[in-house]
Amino acid sequence: MNLARRTMNHPALAAVYERAWRPTLFYLASGRTTTSDRRDAVRALRLDGAQRVLDIACGPGNFTRHLSDALTDGGYAIGLDYSEPMLARAVADNAGPRVGYLRGDARVLPFADGTFDAVCCFGALYLIPDPIAATREMIRVLAPGGRIAITTSYRADSPFGAVSRVFGGRIGLRVFDDRTFPELFAASGLVDVEQDVHRLLQYVSATRPA
């Protein structure tokens, strides 16, 4: 297990992740606040009703609970992660009437095809050993008419980007170009593919045709 994955499994990180680690590192990487990322996640997934939501690599549930707050009626959000310390924090800090947490591997999802109306993965594809397999799994469990949204690393063409590539490679963080995910989404039959780049991060979303 590389340094980045070991760090994510550490109880000390789980304890500070939501309040300190994520807001600081993601602000430095993208210039965006957690509040903006949460608001735009709800918008990108078009949450407003009784939708079934799957939040892959949910960490301490810092997005899962917020996503569930946008749901009504029988809607619910499931957060899936493989780290026990992260899931323990999710249950302690981000429980709610429409939220559940599950331990699992993003590369082999324990759900039937088309189970969810919205599937997301924020800040994790660069940690997963086979990010393309994990993304294909997300698409597999997405229902017709459903929305998918990811946030991951971006190989910025700048001195800062070059440093991030070298540093990322050393600790086991993958850095993606701006074609991999839009092309994978389009090749998988998804439509309305949108991509926004903010410094070292990319935000990509799409729809599975009804």
Judged by CB under 6 A, does residue 63 bind ligand SAM?
Answer: yes
Among 67, 128, 139, 184, binds ligand SAM (CB under 6 A): 128
Determine, following the binding rule CB under 6 A, whether residue 198 of this chain makes contact with ligand SAM: no
CB of 127 to ligand SAM, least distance (A): 4
Separation of alpha carbons 111 and 99, rounded Å:
17
Identify which of residues 124 and 142 has a Cβ nearer to ligand SAM in the complex. Answer: 124
Return the DSSP state at 114: T
| Angle of the 22-30 helix axis to the 34-45 helix axis, nearest 10 | 80
Taking Cα atoms as reference points, which of 183, 45, 192 lies closest to residue 119? 45
Residues 57, 71, 150, 156: which binds ligand SAM (CB under 6 A)? 57
Among 58, 90, 142, 206, binds ligand SAM (CB under 6 A): 58
What is d(CA 200, CA 210) in angstroms, rounded to the nearest whole number?
Answer: 33
Rounded Cα distance, 47 and 55, in Å: 13
CB atoms within 10 A of CB 11: 12
Determine, following the binding rule CB under 6 A, whether residue 106 of this chain makes contact with ligand SAM: yes
| Helical (H) or strand (E) element with 36 | helix 34-45
Nearer to ligand SAM, 76 or 122 (CB): 122
Asked if residue 98 binds ligand SAM (CB under 6 A), the reply is no
- Which residues, 145 to 184, sit near ligand SAM by CB under 6 A? none
- Which 22-41 positions form the footprint of ligand SAM (CB under 6 A)? 22
HSE (CB half, 13 Å, CA atoms) of 98? 22
Name the site residues for ligand SAM (rule: CB under 6 A).
8, 22, 57-59, 62-63, 81-83, 86, 105-107, 122-124, 127-128
